[in-house]
Amino acid sequence: MAKQKTKFFCSECGFESPKWLGKCPGCQAWNTFVEELETVTKTQGMQSSLLRTKEKAVSIINIKGTEEQRILTRNKELNRVLGGGVVPGSLLLVGGDPGIGKSTLLLQTSYDLTQSEKKVLYISGEESVRQTKLRADRLQATSELLYVLCETNLEQIEAAIEQVQPDFLVIDSIQTVYHPAISSAPGSVSQVRECTGHFMRIAKIKGIATVLVGHVTKEGAIAGPRMLEHMVDCVLYFEGERHHSYRLLRAVKNRFGATNEIGIFEMQENGLVEVNNPSELFLSERPLGVSGSTVVASMEGTRTVLVELQALVSPTNFPSPRRMATGIDHNRMALIIAVLEKRIGMFLQNQDAYVNVAGGVKLDEPAVDLAIAVSIASSLREQPTQPFDVIFGEVGLTGEVRGVSRVDQRVKEAEKLGFRRVILPEKSLKGWTPPASIEIIGVNTVAEALKAALG
């Protein structure tokens, strides 16, 4: 007879408790415990013993270090985000809002790999085989080496993997797959953790590159326990507005490449098309000679992206002014406003302030601080900045401008797009030679930057 017992799991981190708790001791989150019925059988114990390996520990100097042979796709943006291509035996997790284009991207990638004589198995737990076929016909992504299966039972999926022996495996999505030995519902903490563990072992033992599609919560995080992101090798987030055609694929974790790398795509009738020059895209609709608009050079992984940063300052009708930020950290914006009030003498306590990054990009590096300060000051004074200026630098609490990294790459990108001046930290001018065709202005304080940008 199987023994049944009830346990409580934290939906954020997977912490296990025999009773319900209001606050999770693991991640300190409130009201995240869910009750699940756990079934412990002798079969489960036998399965765990069969998975034990007989390998012995060896010295690290005796291990031969070989370069991983990556599988290149025809999509250069995807190759960039993955660090140079798909690594055999890796486990990837892709998350994003419903309808953002996750299945479209993976179906196109599967077709690209079949053109390199790679066998692909696409497991769909949410769409039937006919629905997947209709999508593939629309994307013109049909091949004899692309196998499709509609299944949610983990044991049946393992049998299909043994039969097909694919080089690339897609599970769409991990929340629909269930282990028959676990009594909890598909998508629960126990099911997601157990099924992900099985796919991880399959990927490592058989050398199959595996992609798991994950649902997201209302807050935008991948649903399920937080440990799901720790188990996989790479975590990709598909971002963008469903009402706009542009999509961003961001790597927040990558064991085989740079983190925070982004790939930019455009959704068209025949699927996702890569965008080769994102800076031109983000600046294509930029107005010239308007107050509150600046251009900032930001590093996204190893890529330099020039984006427009807009600010609007207007008198408030409320006792406390509103502070709204889109694309940047709200707390960082409040800090810069405090610096402008204390160090520059600007009176912003009776002004609403709105800051927006055009194009839907999220900028989280400190190098955008100086551009935010210049944009707010430009909008408050009704003085437009020079239309061919690029501004970047980190702002300190005393009003100083701190140095940033990869200055030469940022300046080269600005020169390539025809900008004439770059306002940057004075401390970042050492160790490289600026191009002769662009004017470089080094500043030490926010006051110097405002004088150079606004006169």
Q: Which two tokens stand for residue 113?
A: 């790999």
Lowest mean pLDDT among 154-168, 208-222, 281-295, 376-390: 208-222
Q: How far is CA 147 from CA 130, 199, 332, in A?
A: 12, 18, 48
Mean pLDDT across the chain: 88
User: Is 70 exceeded by the pLDDT of residue 117?
Assistant: yes
Q: How many CA atoms lie within 13 A of 453 on its CB side?
A: 38
User: Is 80 exceeded by the pLDDT of residue 38?
Assistant: no
Q: Which two tokens stand for residue 51?
A: 């998975």
Give the whole-angstrom CA distance, residue 227 versus residue 317: 46
Topology agreement, domain 70-276 and domain 280-454: no
Domain limits of the chain?
A: 3-43, 70-276, 280-454
- What's the pLDDT at 1? 46
- What's the pLDDT at 44? 45
What is the percent of the chain where pLDDT is above 90?
59
pLDDT grade for 235, boundaries at 50, 70 and 90: very high
- What's the pLDDT at 403? 94
pLDDT grade for 169, boundaries at 50, 70 and 90: very high
Known binder of ligand: residue 98? yes
Known binder of ligand: residue 99? yes
Known binder of ligand: residue 123? no
- What's the pLDDT at 177? 94
Report, in angstroms and rounded to the nearest whole number, the Rg of the chain calculated over CA atoms.
26
Q: Would you put residue 393 in left (φ > 0), alpha (ψ -120 to 50) or beta?
A: left
Over residues 18-45, the mean pLDDT reads: 74
Over residues 36-50, the mean pLDDT reads: 48
- What's the pLDDT at 42? 43
CATH of region 280-454, choose from 3.30.230.10, 3.20.20.80, 3.30.420.40, 3.30.590.10: 3.30.230.10
Q: Which two tokens stand for residue 211?
A: 């992609």
Q: Which two tokens stand for residue 125?
A: 């737990």
- What's the pLDDT at 67? 67
- Going by C-alpha positions, the residue among 391, 7, 324, 361 that lies closest to residue 184 is 7
pTM: 0.80
User: Is 70 exceeded by the pLDDT of residue 260?
Assistant: yes
How is domain 70-276 classified at the architecture level of CATH?
A: 3-Layer(aba) Sandwich (3.40)
Residue-level length of the chain: 455
Over residues 372-380, the mean pLDDT reads: 97
Known binder of ligand: residue 102? yes
Q: How far is CA 240 from CA 278, 358, 359, 441, in A?
A: 14, 12, 9, 35
- What's the pLDDT at 69? 81
Give the whole-angstrom CA distance, residue 92 versus residue 211: 5
User: Is 50 exceeded by the pLDDT of residue 51?
Assistant: no
Q: How many CA atoms lie within 13 A of 276 on its CB side?
A: 0
pLDDT grade for 209, boundaries at 50, 70 and 90: very high
What single-letter amino acid sits at 8?
F
What single-letter amino acid sits at 455?
G
- What's the pLDDT at 47? 45
- What's the pLDDT at 97? 87
- What's the pLDDT at 328? 94
- What's the pLDDT at 3? 56
pLDDT in tens, 350-373: 999 999 998 878 898 999 999 999
pLDDT in tens, 307-326: 999 999 999 988 899 999 99
What single-letter amino acid sits at 425?
P
